[in-house]
Structure 1
């Protein structure tokens, strides 16, 4: 499996930075999965400087970002032939680093969403993804990931743009038992109402909302949920974005995404239906 890898300067500047917290926490899983990491120049250099990767994982150096390294990752997420196709990307984002909103950074996420591949922007998401893939590989659960899977103590946000609402409802219907394990669920306006109607049709108590509804996205619901994330009251977001439509409330959407990356060790975010379904299947398998 091949993953693009990049990290803003804050996240690789010393051995205690986010990139190395992930590498240390998941060293065993990275080796077990025999990941091939395709790292942009300075990210690669930082890993070599602080000890490299261990086990069966491999790492390749791409050019520095200013020399087109991140652009190459975007192209390889789309696919450049059998030997130049990535299965997803880890991009550990510092939300106040200007390069995080460069066109190639935005395009990397967009192409991951379009092609149904993981776009991983936080330490927690990267740890969660490794454990998910370990479950699909038939490996035993890693006790170090238990806290990430303590859903009974977590709040889950479920958000979908208009064109993606049917996909969100289908996802919730198929994985209802896993999603119902969370201590609480929150959603923006219309999505929340439809999720509640689905839950009631499945026998959820009619006088109890399955998901707490906030405002609709255009009216500020994304900002309300971003505040929950920043306060540590929402630990996981499943956000089905429509990458083909420009939206007037784009700034609010970015606000939620920036909130997730601000608390990089605590918040997990998934943005593609295929990735979310793979996670839910792995979570059910891990619970067994």
Structure 2
């Protein structure tokens, strides 16, 4: 597998920065899975300066972002052939750095969503994804990743744009037992109501909501869930985004995304059905 790798300056300025914390946690998995890493210039240089991934032959340096390095990763998500088709992208963003909303940054996520590939914008998301792939490869469980799978003590957010609400319902129906293990589930507007009706049809007690509903997205539901994330009261977000339509409440969606990256060590975020289902399958194998 090939992974794109980039991190904003904030995440590699100090020894305890997020990029280095991530690599310390996942380097064994990177080597076990023999992942190819296409790292944008400054990120590569920071890894080399810290003497991490020492002599790992599959770590490849790409140009600096200002020279098109991140743009090249976007093209590789789409697929360039000849060993240049990424399976996922790790991009640790700084939520207050303007570069996080540069066209190439937004396009990287958008193309990952379109092509059903993992876009990993937080340390927690990347650690969770590596463990998921280790499990699918039949490797022993990493006990240091146990906290990401303590579902009985976690809150899960389930959100879907209008065109993807049927997809969310199918996903929830197929994985109902696993999703029911979470201590709490939250959702926005119509998605939350539809999920409750699904749960009641499956025998969930009629007097109990399966999902605690917040406002619809355009009326602030994304902001309400963002607040839960920032308070460390929501640990996992599954957000099926429709990249093909103009979104009138784009600012609210970006607010939720920024909340997730603000608590980079705590929040796991998944934006496509394919990746969400692969996580569910791994969770069942891990159990």
- Which TM-score applies when normalising by structure 2? 0.98
Q: Distance in 1 between matches of 2:167 and 2:56?
A: 37
Say whether 1:195 aligns with 2:195: yes
Give the corresponding residue for 2:153: 153
What does 1:100-111 correspond to in 2, within 5 Å? 100-111=100-111
Q: Distance in 1 between matches of 2:56 and 2:49?
A: 19
Instruction: Assess if the C-alpha contact under 8 Å between 1:12 and 1:19 holds in 2.
Output: yes
The residue matched to 2:87 in structure 1 has which SS?
coil
Give the corresponding residue for 2:83: 83
The residue matched to 2:38 in structure 1 has which SS?
strand
Give the corresponding residue for 1:276: 276
Instruction: Assess if the C-alpha contact under 8 Å between 1:27 and 1:54 holds in 2.
Output: no
Measured after TM superposition, the shift of residue 54 of structure 1 is 4.9
Give the corresponding residue for 2:140: 140
Give the corresponding residue for 2:175: 175
Q: Distance in 2 between matches of 1:247 and 1:27?
A: 38
Q: Distance in 2 between matches of 1:266 and 1:86?
A: 25
Q: Distance in 2 between matches of 1:57 and 1:23?
A: 16
Give the corresponding residue for 2:61: 61
Instruction: Assess if the C-alpha contact under 8 Å between 1:4 and 1:86 holds in 2.
Output: yes
The residue matched to 1:146 in structure 2 has which SS?
helix
Measured after TM superposition, the shift of residue 25 of structure 1 is 1.0
Give the corresponding residue for 2:19: 19
**Greater CA drift, 127-136 or 12-21:** 12-21
Give the corresponding residue for 1:7: 7
Measured after TM superposition, the shift of residue 55 of structure 1 is 8.1
Q: Distance in 1 between matches of 2:241 and 2:58?
A: 32
Instruction: Assess if the C-alpha contact under 8 Å between 1:33 and 1:57 holds in 2.
Output: no
Give the corresponding residue for 1:244: 244
Q: Distance in 2 between matches of 1:168 and 1:111?
A: 20
Q: Distance in 2 between matches of 1:30 and 1:148?
A: 18
Give the corresponding residue for 2:96: 96
Instruction: Assess if the C-alpha contact under 8 Å between 2:23 and 2:52 holds in 1.
Output: no
Q: Distance in 2 between matches of 1:146 and 1:135?
A: 13
Q: Distance in 1 between matches of 2:113 and 2:151?
A: 25
Change over 3 Å in CA distance of 1:136–1:57 after alignment to 2: farther
What does 1:108-147 correspond to in 2, within 5 Å? 108-147=108-147
Q: Distance in 2 between matches of 1:112 and 1:129?
A: 14
Q: Distance in 2 between matches of 1:52 and 1:145?
A: 20
Measured after TM superposition, the shift of residue 224 of structure 1 is 0.3
The residue matched to 1:247 in structure 2 has which SS?
coil
The residue matched to 1:44 in structure 2 has which SS?
helix
Change over 3 Å in CA distance of 1:277–1:57 after alignment to 2: farther
RMSD: 1.0
Measured after TM superposition, the shift of residue 160 of structure 1 is 0.1
Measured after TM superposition, the shift of residue 57 of structure 1 is 6.6
Give 4+ residue runs of structure 1 displaced > 4 Å after superposition. 54-57
Count of residue pairs the alignment pairs up: 287
Q: Distance in 2 between matches of 1:270 and 1:43?
A: 23
